[in-house]
Amino acid sequence: MRKVVLESYIRKRLEENDILLMTHIVLGYPSFDDNMRVIETMVEAGVELMELQIPVSRPIADGPVISRANLQALKGGATVEGCLNLAVSAARSFDIPFLLMSYYSIPFGYGVDRFVKTMSHGGLQGAIIPDLPSQEGRVYLDAMHAYNLAPILIFLPTTPVDRMRTIAASGSGFIYCVARKGVTGEATNFSEELAAYLLVCRQSTSRPLSLGFGIKRKSDIDFLKGKADIAVVGTQTIRVMEQKGIAAVGDYIRRLR
C-alpha cells in the first residue's frame, strides 16, 4: 500500500462501510510477540486502520490503562528502535494502513528526519503526535510531507473554527477529533453536544474525521455513523486483552460492527 493514498484508501473503504474502525495498541505491551498476535487478530476481525504507540514514561493524553501499558512496556525493555522494527514488520505483513502514535520527545530524541525516513522506508502511513509543539512542529510537518507521510493533526472541543481550518491545512490523511476534555479511557457522553461539535469539525475541513476517547460499545459507534468517518477504539481493547486474552479481542471488535 503506497503512503500517498491514505485519504483515498479511507474514502474507498467508506464506500463499503458507513464508518471505519481504527484500533490502538502500545508497542511492547505485553511483549512484541503479543503485539503481532494482537495485530493479526484485529486485522482478521476487520479493523481498517491501526495506530501503534511508542511508549513514553509520561503519556500525558492517556488515562490509567494506556499509561500503565506504556510503563510496563518500558520496564519490559521496549526501545524506540525495537518499536520501529515491530511497526515496520506489521506494515509489511498486513494490508491495512499503520500509523505511529507517540509524543514529540520520541521523534525529537531519535532525530526527526531519521524518524520520518524510517517510517517512510518501512511502509508506515503517518503518525499522530498529540503534543506537537507549534514552532518545532514545523520541522516535523515539513519532513512528513517531504516523505509523503500523513501527519494526523488534532481537533479539540475547545479549538476555535479558524484554528481548525489552519490545522487541517497543515495535516493530511484525516483529522483526529478528541471527543472531550481529559484523557483516554474515561466515559464519553454521546450526546447532542458531541454531535454539534462534530458538525463544526465537518464544516471546518474536507478531510475525513476520526473520533477517539471513550468509545467502548457498538451503540457508541452507531451514534457516530454519519457524524464521523473513523471510530477509534483503544483503551477498551487493552482491557479485553488483559481480562480475557488476545483471542477475545477479535470477538470484541466483531461485535462492534
Q: Which of 1-10, 29-38, 58-67, 179-188 has the lowest mean pLDDT?
A: 179-188
Instruction: Specify the pLDDT at position 48.
Output: 98
Statement: residue 1 has pLDDT above 50:
no
Exactly one of 33, 40, 62, 193 is catalytic; name it: 62
- For all residues of the chain together, what is the average pLDDT? 93
Q: Which residues touch 254 (CB under 8 Å, ≥6 apart)?
A: 45, 46
Instruction: Specify the pLDDT at position 27.
Output: 98
Q: What mean pLDDT comes out for the span 24-36?
A: 98
Domain range 3-256, CATH class: alpha beta
Long-range contacts of 219-225 (CB under 8 A, 24+ apart): 219/190, 220/188, 220/190, 221/19, 221/21, 221/256, 223/190, 223/194, 223/195, 224/19, 224/190, 224/198, 225/18, 225/19
Query: What does the pLDDT look like over 99-111, one tens digit per residue?
Result: 999 999 999 999 9
Statement: residue 6 has pLDDT above 60:
yes
φ, ψ for residue 34 (rounded to 5)?
Answer: -65, -35
Amino acid identity of residue 19, one-letter, is: I
**Residue 184's pLDDT band (cuts 50, 70, 90):** low
Statement: residue 112 has pLDDT above 80:
yes
Q: Is there a catalytic annotation at residue 142?
A: no
**Residue 130's pLDDT band (cuts 50, 70, 90):** very high
Q: Is there a catalytic annotation at residue 51?
A: yes
Instruction: Please give the grid coordinates belonging to residue 114.
Output: 531519521
Residue with grid cell 471505519, as numbered in its chain: 20
Exactly one of 7, 33, 44, 51 is catalytic; name it: 51
How is the chain split into domains, by residue range? 3-256
Q: Which residues touch 78 (CB under 8 Å, ≥6 apart)?
A: 27, 28, 29, 32, 55
Closest to 99 (Cα-Cα) out of 64, 48, 136, 135: 48
Instruction: Specify the pLDDT at position 195.
Output: 95
164 beta partners: none
Q: What mean pLDDT comes out for the span 155-173?
A: 95
Statement: residue 134 has pLDDT above 90:
no
Q: What mean pLDDT comes out for the span 10-15?
A: 97
Query: What does the pLDDT look like over 41-66, one tens digit per residue?
Result: 999 999 999 999 999 998 887 789 99
- CB-based contact 127:78 (threshold 8 Å): no
Q: What mean pLDDT comes out for the span 241-252?
A: 97
